[in-house]
Structure 1
Amino acid sequence: MSSTYLDIRSLRAFVLTVETGSLTEASRRMGRTQSAVTQQIQKLEQIIGRPLFDDTRRALELSETGTVFLSHARQILGSHDECLARFAPTAAEEKVVFGVPDLYATFLLPPILSAFRRDYPHIRIELRCALSRPLVARVREGSVDIALVTRMDGFTGGQVVGREQLVWLTGATSSAHLEDPVPMALLPPGNIYRDYAIEALDRAGRNWRIACVSDSISGLQTAVLSGIAVTVLIESALVPGVRQPPAQAGFPTLPSVDLLLYRSATEQSSPAVETLHRYLLNHLSLTGGR
């Protein structure tokens, strides 16, 4: 084996390619071109002297060497990111205003923010839960330091840090998904979850009606849990008490949505903002959202 070092970016490119199953998706999440990601993986193969992927298969499939190497790559990346998080400059008693829709605050962020709190007990996070569009506006005006939002039409800037699959959700004992028209619990107009739900139902020729409109996920959950409506949320929201409608119910397939991480340009000098932004970027990029 060559005595040269293993580059962290190359390791991350390899792991993301495996986890997403796509060079295109890995390059999108890393903010690099597909050719650059391919070159990084080829660099790893040159270092270890063996192919990481099975060239005889059309799909990306790990070789025997790649399977073993993947375990080591994940361990190295985990140690690397933990070290950065542990020894990054702390900002004692500094506050970071972090904006996030309550959906992600409930289902995606608790383990990450809990770990951050253990690593940086002197950085105080002030959560601001709101919908994605107003959060992006608040980041740009400087009243929110960092925001994790859903990519929507017209959004510019921000860094893609994950992707979440949208799913139909009905109550565990509910028959709302069998009604005609289908009663829907939706976010207010202008939200991409609402738009995708309505577009999918219209394409499938399904009749629907509004049974609930809520700015918060708790309102949508209440409507679903009580059996009065069906809603569209991320797959991570599939918790006890709710279920996906059975295939025979005929609900169309939904797309996935990108998660964007924004940082206010007015807080570039704040070590606390820099620390939380890097922490979120590392952890969300590694998990792909969930």
Structure 2
Amino acid sequence: MRYDIDPALLRTFAAVVDHGGVTAAARHLALTQSAASQHLRKLEAQLGSGLFERQGRRLLLTPTGEVALGYARGILRMQDELKARLDRPPVVGTVRLGTPDLYAAHLLPKVLGDFGRAFPEVQIELHCRLSQVLLEDIGRGEIDVALVTRQPYMAGGSRVRDEQLVWISGLGHDTTQRSPLPLAMLPAGNLYRTMALDGLERAGRSWKIVCESASLGGLYAAVMSGLAVSVVARSTVTSDVVEVGPAQGLPRLPGVELILYRAPAATSDAVRCLEDYIRRKLRA
């Protein structure tokens, strides 16, 4: 069955639920009562099922009505967002966005692609550096927005989501059984590295850094080749590697917090739009 439903019917349906009846809904929508009733009948005919059942003077949703209401609200919300977006003047400008390579490679591609389609007049300059360096860049006003891993010394910023850290090893390699444990790590000062080494020390596991890379690609190359194991956020684990842990004698790792910083002087509409978009799309 094909459904081509007029949003006006859905808006009347939602208004009847919100206002407790057809008469009040019609008044709210500036419709006649007969027009509102006709909307409901037409919607029920298109869905092939009743939306309400009467209990005394009350209108109660049927099971179909409950399902339809959720979809109706979603469709109407998107319609309202579209109208609001098109009614606004276009957002223009350049935003300097900073984030570690790990997040640029896996968390942001879809977000930035969608943002570019929604705000085609906004240009993004992407700066990939370690979190601690990006925080310094924010302080100097060299970037506008930074998506970083919260460090113990960091204050402020707004939480976006939490990421669980995990160990990864190459498929078909017994790297975790070597002693000392060969590691591929981000440069010194990175929280992932600090947490991994602290965990190994507490577990009494000997280790040796055999590869150091500021990029996720470099870490993955070392891991996939069987040269080393590494630590990444679980959301970045690909099918090219395998997650390992206590079963292979490796310590359980903690989670980290992703936060957004905005430079105090970065107040343009383009900056605010990108900041809000990243927060909404990545919130977990």
Structure-1-length-normalised TM-score: 0.69
Aligned to 2:144: 145
Q: Is the 8 A contact 1:90 1:275 kept in 2?
A: no
CA distance in structure 1 between the aligned counterparts of 2:72 and 2:194, rounded to whole angstroms: 39
Please show how residues 183-262 of structure 1 align to structure 2 within 5 Å.
183-245=182-244, 247-262=246-261
What's the secondary structure of 1:152's corresponding residue? coil
Please show how residues 158-177 of structure 1 align to structure 2 within 5 Å.
158-177=157-176
What's the secondary structure of 1:265's corresponding residue? coil
Aligned to 1:110: 109
Shift of 1:137: 1.0
CA distance in structure 1 between the aligned counterparts of 2:87 and 2:165, rounded to whole angstroms: 37
Change beyond 3 A, Cα 1:69–1:147: farther
Q: Is the 8 A contact 2:210 2:228 kept in 1?
A: yes
Point out where structure 2 has 5 or more consecutive residues left out of the alignment.
1-16, 21-65
Letter in 1 for 2:192: Y
What's the secondary structure of 1:267's corresponding residue? coil
Q: Which has the larger radius of gyration?
A: 2
Aligned to 1:91: 91
Aligned to 1:272: 270
Aligned to 2:130: 131
Q: Is the 8 A contact 2:175 2:227 kept in 1?
A: yes
What's the secondary structure of 2:239's corresponding residue? coil
What per-residue deviation string (whole Å, max 9, x for no partner) do you get for residues 63-86 of structure 1? xxxx97996699489739954666
Shift of 1:279: 1.2
Q: Is the 8 A contact 1:89 1:275 kept in 2?
A: no
CA distance in structure 2 between the aligned counterparts of 1:69 and 1:197, rounded to whole angstroms: 49
Change beyond 3 A, Cα 1:262–1:246: closer
CA distance in structure 2 between the aligned counterparts of 1:166 and 1:77, rounded to whole angstroms: 39
Letter in 1 for 2:282: L
CA distance in structure 1 between the aligned counterparts of 2:69 and 2:160, rounded to whole angstroms: 21
Letter in 1 for 2:259: L
Aligned to 2:181: 182
Shift of 1:118: 0.7
Aligned to 2:29: none
CA distance in structure 1 between the aligned counterparts of 2:136 and 2:196, rounded to whole angstroms: 25
Change beyond 3 A, Cα 1:265–1:167: same
Please show how residues 70-85 of structure 1 align to structure 2 within 5 Å.
75=74, 79=78, 83=82
Letter in 2 for 1:257: V
What per-residue deviation string (whole Å, max 9, x for no partner) do you get for residues 20-73 of structure 1? xxxxxxxxxxxxxxxxxxxxxxxxxxxxxxxxxxxxxxxxxxxxxxx9799669
Aligned to 2:280: 282
What's the secondary structure of 2:265's corresponding residue? helix
Structure-2-length-normalised TM-score: 0.71
CA distance in structure 2 between the aligned counterparts of 1:284 and 1:200, rounded to whole angstroms: 28
What per-residue deviation string (whole Å, max 9, x for no partner) do you get for residues 204-249 of structure 1? 1111111111122222111111111000001122112211126531
In the alignment of these two chains, the number of paired residues is 223
Point out where structure 1 has 5 or more consecutive residues left out of the alignment.
5-66
CA distance in structure 1 between the aligned counterparts of 2:90 and 2:169, rounded to whole angstroms: 44
CA distance in structure 1 between the aligned counterparts of 2:249 and 2:80, rounded to whole angstroms: 44
Aligned to 1:100: 99
What per-residue deviation string (whole Å, max 9, x for no partner) do you get for residues 165-196 of structure 1? 10000111221111011001111221110011
Task: Give RMSD over aligned pairs.
Answer: 2.8
CA distance in structure 2 between the aligned counterparts of 1:120 and 1:111, rounded to whole angstroms: 14
What's the secondary structure of 1:252's corresponding residue? coil
Q: Is the 8 A contact 1:197 1:254 kept in 2?
A: yes
Q: Is the 8 A contact 1:86 1:119 kept in 2?
A: no
Letter in 2 for 1:276: L
CA distance in structure 2 between the aligned counterparts of 1:81 and 1:182, rounded to whole angstroms: 56
CA distance in structure 2 between the aligned counterparts of 1:81 and 1:137, rounded to whole angstroms: 40
Change beyond 3 A, Cα 1:68–1:95: same
Change beyond 3 A, Cα 1:225–1:68: same
